[in-house]
Structure 1
Amino acid sequence: MLRRLVVAGVLCGVLVGCSGEVRSEPAPSTPTSVSDTAAQEAAVAEAFAAYRTAVLAKDGQAVAGLLTAESIEYYAAIKKLAMTAREPYLRQARVSDQLVVVKLRTSVPAENLRRWSPSRLVVDAVERGDMNSASVQRMSSGEVDVAGDIGTVQLKVDGHDSPLSFTFYREGGRWKFRLIPLLEATETALRARMQEQHITERRLVDDQLAATLTPEQIKAGWLPTG
């Protein structure tokens, strides 16, 4: 069930699988005091609540403002793929990238895709409901841990503990959601599904696309928009 939750909650426009260069994580620093740690843990919990609320409300501007700079850069990499990658090249990308790029091409007009900034793509995805608010609704905050500028929120699903977590970074004095670890978990979940069902990568991608798109949309989705 948790594997299905990861796939359902993160795919379909959340833009999974980073194609570009990923920055290294900042080195944790030692908290100054127990009280400071408690205050930062509360701040991370508040950041999680704000992100969850924004997704459920389909408030794209708020969600974009709660993402780390690295997360926004990820959307820039996906935009480049959507504009330039032909099917043979895209088929060599990560499973999650393939799904997201085809979905993006069928959801956003080519003119908008060319002129929109990565942040604007985030806003549009949230407003269209591509961040799967139904799955986010099932998530709540569990234990919160802070190590310097890195905060981790263990997720509860339907009120029960789960192995899933959200990572937050402190940027400019604010705690922001780091998308990359969740994207990596999604890719792992997709590949686990391939092994469990004994299917090829191509079959998994084609089945996922066929579940939500028409044959005409899928055909168009494999064509670059640039």
Structure 2
Amino acid sequence: MNRTMPAVALAAVLLVGACGGGTPVATSSSSATSAATTSSVDVADEEEAVRKAFADYREAAQAKDGVAAAALLSQDMLDYYTGARDLALTGSEQQVREGGVTASILVYVLRAEFDAAELGGMSAEQLVSAAVEKGLVSENSLDNVELGTVVVDGDTARADLTSRGQSAGVELPFHKEDGSWRFDLGPLMVAGDEALETVAGERGVTVEQLVDTTLGTLYGADRVPELKKPLQG
């Protein structure tokens, strides 16, 4: 709206200047009102479409419909998963650590859940689909998550994430790609890094120790050293 209204006003001024007289002014005002109303409807429709995209992702994840879930992630997010796949296959421990805490855990989980041949043959969409179908996306964690305020700006949008009616302090970006709204989980990864660093500090351990403990809980402490090695080592 903030970007559209000045454009409507400018169009009205240009019409008045070109035509002159009282009648064109009335016509311009009517055109501006009509355009503004149409714009309001369009923005409202897009905001609703953004909300629906997020709701559809949550529903797909809860139903373990991996194909549907993958189709709702932005290209930036799919590229992120491609990078995680490549690190799982060939990344050194140092390279994995440089990606951040949440990304590191993702890479190690991929190594635990897939072998080299299986993972190497997957596209990003197939990887997301398989992860959802394996239950690696916790459907219960999405039960109380909603979108708060949604702001649409052309083919991009941003939405406040809420949990149990309270702001989660995270803003999700959405992108309209091939005519459909898709979203990027990147800010959640950043928030995850911050949360894990806080937990590590509270427990008096390093982030690396916390990651090892998490992996040990998921897959057994004896597998942790193995998960630190690339699948195609």
Give the structure-1-normalised TM-score: 0.79
Q: C-alpha displacement at 1:39, in angstroms? A: 1.2
> Structure 1 residues 91 and 143 mapped into 2: Cα distance closer, same or farther (>3 Å)?
closer
Distance in 2, Cα, partners of 1:214 & 1:198: 22
Following the alignment from structure 1 to structure 2, what is the Cα–Cα distance between the partners of residues 205 and 172?
A: 38
Aligned amino acid, residue 228 of structure 2? W
In the aligned structure 2, how far is the partner of 1:104 from the partner of 1:191?
22
Partner of 2:215: 209
1:126-137 matches, within 5 Å, as 126-137=132-143
Where does residue 96 of structure 1 map in the other structure?
A: 102
Structure 2 distance, partners of 1:154, 1:91, is 29
Give the one of 195, 199, 205 matched to 1:193: 199
* In 2, Cα distance between equivalents of 1:45 and 1:91: 34
Structure whose residues are more often helix by fraction? 2
The structural deviation recorded for 1:136 is 0.7
Equivalent-residue separation in structure 1 for 2:94 and 2:184 (angstroms): 30
**Deviation, structure 1 residue 157:** 1.8
- Partners of 1:106 and 1:200 lie apart in 2 by 22
Query: Which position in structure 2 is the counterpart of 1:124?
Result: 130
Count matched residues.
199
Which one-letter code corresponds to 1:207 in the other structure?
T
The question of 1:72 aligning with 2:45 is answered no
Aligned-pair distance for 1:156?
Answer: 3.0
Q: Which runs of 5+ in 2 are unaligned?
A: 6-38
Aligned letter for 1:78? Answer: A
Counting aligned pairs with the same residue, the percent is 33
Identify the match of residue 52 of structure 1 among 55, 58, 79: 58
1-structure distance, mates of 2:61, 2:75: 18
- Between the aligned partners of 1:89 and 1:62, the Cα distance in structure 2 is 31
Which residue type is aligned with residue 97 of structure 1? Answer: A
Q: Which residue of 1 aligns with 2:146?
A: 140
Distance 1:209 1:124 in 2: 20
Q: Partner residue of 2:230?
A: 224
Q: Deviations over 1:74-118 (max 9, x none)?
A: 111111111112335434442222211111111012210111112
Q: Secondary structure at the match of 2:73?
A: coil
* Conserved 8 A contact 2:157-2:173: yes
CA offsets, 1:112-141, max 9 Å, x none? 011111211111100011111110112123
Q: Give, as a single letter, the amino acid of the residue that structure 2 aligns with 1:131.
A: V
Structure 1 or 2, whichever has the larger Rg, is: 2
Match of 2:91 in 1: 85
Q: Which has the higher contact order (CA 8 A, sep 6+)?
A: 1
Aligned 8 A contact 1:194 1:200 in 2: yes
2:3 corresponds to which residue?
30
Question: 1 CA distance for matches of 2:139 and 2:100?
Answer: 24
Q: 1:45 to 1:88 in 2, by over 3 A?
A: closer
CA distance 1:216–1:197, change in 2 (3 Å): closer
Question: Which position in structure 2 is the counterpart of 1:24?
Answer: none
The question of whether the paired residues in 1 share the 8 Å contact of 2:215 and 2:221 is answered with no
Using a 3 Å threshold, how does the CA distance of structure 1 residues 71 and 197 change in structure 2: closer, same or farther? Answer: same
TM-score by length of 2: 0.77
- Gaps of at least 5 residues in structure 1 are 1-28
**Aligned in 2, Cα 1:197/1:116: closer, same or farther, shift over 3 Å?**
same
1:184: which partner in 2?
A: 190
Higher mean Cα deviation, 45-54 or 79-88? 79-88
- After superposition, what is the alpha-carbon deviation per residue over 1:129-176, rounded to whole angstroms, capped at 9, x for unaligned? 111111011212333222222222323323444323432111122110
